């Protein structure tokens, strides 16, 4: 496993009105999501390897900001409830590590 770079609070959007709270962690080769509390272990998907990520961006959402990951199959994974500065740093570090 590669070294952890940064962890931030985020909530994985699973349905339009449902989010799973947890921690989004940037490693040197992947992004990892782990749910918190009673929902731990119920994640639909945990790992997003850089080789499988087509695009990652941060944008404004209804729950203040979100990070969106589009994978190699063009499936969109959204992580809501992201703090603006932490989210920007997360995406910047991903781009630096991934050479984008």
Instruction: Judge contact between 84 and 65, C-beta under 8 A.
Output: yes
The pTM assigned to this predicted structure is 0.85
Q: Which CATH code, of 3.50.50.60, 2.40.370.10, 3.40.50.720, 2.30.29.30, is assigned to 4-98?
A: 2.30.29.30
Q: What is the pLDDT of residue 49?
A: 96
Q: Over the range 61-80, which residues count as b (16 or more CB within 10 Å of their CB) and which as e?
A: beeebbbbbebeeeeebbbb
Q: What is the pLDDT of residue 62?
A: 72
- pLDDT tens for 79-99 read 999 999 999 999 999 999 988
- pLDDT tens for 17-56 read 788 889 999 999 999 999 887 777 766 789 999 999 999 9
Q: Which residue has the higher pLDDT, 2 or 25?
A: 25
Per domain, the residue ranges of the chain are: 4-98
SS3 81: strand
């Amino acid at each position: 496993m590669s070294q952890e770079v940064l962890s931030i609070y985020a909530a994985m959007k699973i349905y339009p009105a449902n989010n799973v709270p947890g921690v989004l962690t940037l490693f040197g080769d992947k992004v990892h999501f782990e749910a918190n509390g009673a929902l731990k272990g119920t994640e639909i998907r945990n790992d997003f390897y850089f080789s499988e990520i087509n695009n990652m961006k941060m944008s404004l959402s209804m729950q203040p900001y979100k990070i969106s990951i589009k994978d190699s199959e063009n499936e969109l994974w959204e992580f809501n409830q992201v703090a603006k500065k932490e989210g920007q740093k997360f995406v910047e570090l991903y781009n630096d590590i991934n050479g984008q």
